[in-house]
Amino acid sequence: MSLLLENVKKSYREPNGSTLPILDIERFEVKEREQVVLIGESGSGKSTLLNVISGITAADSGKVTIAGTEIASMAEVVRDRFRAERIGFVFQTFNLLPAFSALENVLLGMSFSRKKPNRDRAKELLALVGLEHRLHHHPKQMSVGEQQRVAVARALANQPKLLLADEPTANVDLANQETILHLLRDACAQNQISMLLVTHSQEVAKQFDRVETLSDFNKVHAKV
């Protein structure tokens, strides 16, 4: 399998000192090449879950296994490197660094893995998302939809095993939403990448074969 969560717990410490539990997941699995959409309301812990999976946030307990490797027990540097090489990330907005052109943003995505950044591949990826004519545009000179497409290209840059998308279409118009979702799905399918996309939108969810609701398997939500 591509992703396996086992007994993952995460809670935050609130300013008043009490703990606020967010996640308590017994088991959650994404198979190889599977494309899963996860629905949850705002504040239900979707972003927290993605951060735990990618190793940005450490879980309080439990195991997170990606492509056969358990990441929770890794040293931070190793986990950072693992994230660079195995995980692609697309956020809701402001994915790109304003100082860098579209092409440079994609190259930046290649800069933290052990492989050498490949300019030709970066150009191919931008062509794949239909931006071959925007290589040297800076984020400010692009629409939000175009910026999200650059983010998709960048997420694919290191040929990851798993692509995580955090409401990638929440801030774009409908036409762009369709394009971006198609791009993500096609690219993942073609490159044998598993995808986990979180959203609060049923509209987005209905395009996927496997749709999960966070509250169905997250015990924390069940308690509320």
Contacts with another protein, residue ranges (CB under 8 A): 47-48, 51, 54, 56-57, 76-77, 80-85, 87, 89, 91, 94-100, 104, 107-113, 117, 154, 158
Contacted by 152, from ligand ADP, another protein, Mg ion, none: CB < 5 to 8 Å by type: none
In the complex, minimum distance from the CB of residue 151 to ligand ADP, in angstroms, rounded to a whole number: 17
Contacted by 42, from another protein, ligand ADP, Mg ion, none: CB < 5 to 8 Å by type: ligand ADP
One-letter amino acid at 179 equals T
Residue among 70, 78, 38, 37 nearest 53 (CA): 70
3-state secondary structure of 59: coil
Contacted by 177, from another protein, ligand ADP, Mg ion, none: CB < 5 to 8 Å by type: none
**47 makes contact with Mg ion (CB under 5 A):** yes
Contacted by 45, from Mg ion, ligand ADP, another protein, none: CB < 5 to 8 Å by type: ligand ADP
User: 66 vs 96, which CB is nearer to another protein?
Assistant: 96
Q: How far is CA 220 from the centre of its chain?
A: 22
Interface with ligand ADP (CB under 6 A): 12, 22, 40, 42-48
In the complex, minimum distance from the CB of residue 191 to ligand ADP, in angstroms, rounded to a whole number: 26
In the complex, minimum distance from the CB of residue 198 to ligand ADP, in angstroms, rounded to a whole number: 7
User: 91 vs 208, which CB is nearer to another protein?
Assistant: 91
Neighbours of 173 (CB within 10 A): 12
What are the structure tokens assigned to 74, written together? 């890794």
Whether the Cβ atoms of residue 205 and residue 199 lie closer than 8 Å to each other: yes
Contacted by 44, from another protein, ligand ADP, Mg ion, none: CB < 5 to 8 Å by type: ligand ADP
Stretch that binds Mg ion, among 39-47, 111-119, 125-133, 207-215 (CB under 5 A): 39-47
In the complex, minimum distance from the CB of residue 175 to another protein, in angstroms, rounded to a whole number: 26
Instruction: Name the DSSP class of 221.
Output: H
Residue among 40, 53, 39 nearest 10 (CA): 53
Whether the Cβ atoms of residue 105 and residue 97 lie closer than 8 Å to each other: yes
CA distance 7 to 37: 20
CA distance 71 to 83: 10
In the complex, minimum distance from the CB of residue 93 to Mg ion, in angstroms, rounded to a whole number: 11
11's CB contacts (< 8 A; 6+ apart) are 19, 20, 21, 22, 23, 60
3-state secondary structure of 10: strand
In the complex, minimum distance from the CB of residue 47 to Mg ion, in angstroms, rounded to a whole number: 3
